[in-house]
Amino acid sequence: MNAVVMPLLVVNPINQAYHYLVGNRAALPAAVWTMIFVAGFGEETVFRGYMFERLGKLLGRSLPAQIVTVFITAALFGSIHYFDQGLAGAQQATITGLVFGTVFAVTRRIWMLMCAHAAFDLTAVAIIYWNLESAVAHLIFK
């Protein structure tokens, strides 16, 4: 997403927070573990599972309540990424949170989102590891 969507927001396609991963074989196992278990499973459990359930109790399950829940969880999801990835990371996470939140609101299935989140992050790690962020961005935006 950083290399493909974020240039539309005039953001550098290079994710500086994770640029240390370029060619860093020693850091790869920890990064992969983190993307699968902390990000993929952990973040989805908190933001789509727990927060949707809690906000559903507070706001109800009507369509307007679901829309508000998607926006609240996406904003919070984006905000936690600000501290290590800056504004661009928060923007990217907010967009991802809107998409994942909408899918969860419609399907109520979290496992698919956990797998999608992990796959999304693992793809990003691979693109960074092989130093392809700029090349991927330039395939779309010349």
- Over its C-alpha atoms, the chain yields an Rg (Å, rounded) of 16
Task: Tell me whether residue 9 is in a domain.
Answer: no
Task: Tell me whether residue 40 is in a domain.
Answer: yes
Q: How much is the pTM?
A: 0.88
What is the number of domains present in the chain? 1
pLDDT of 2? 54
Task: Tell me whether residue 6 is in a domain.
Answer: no
Q: What is the pLDDT of residues 25-60, one digit of tens each?
A: 999 999 999 999 999 999 999 999 999 999 999 999
Print the domain residue range for 128. 20-140
Average pLDDT, the chain: 91
Task: Tell me whether residue 27 is in a domain.
Answer: yes
Question: Helix %, strand %, coil % for the chain, to 5?
Answer: 80, 0, 20
Q: Once rounded to an integer, what is the mean pLDDT over residues 67-82?
A: 98
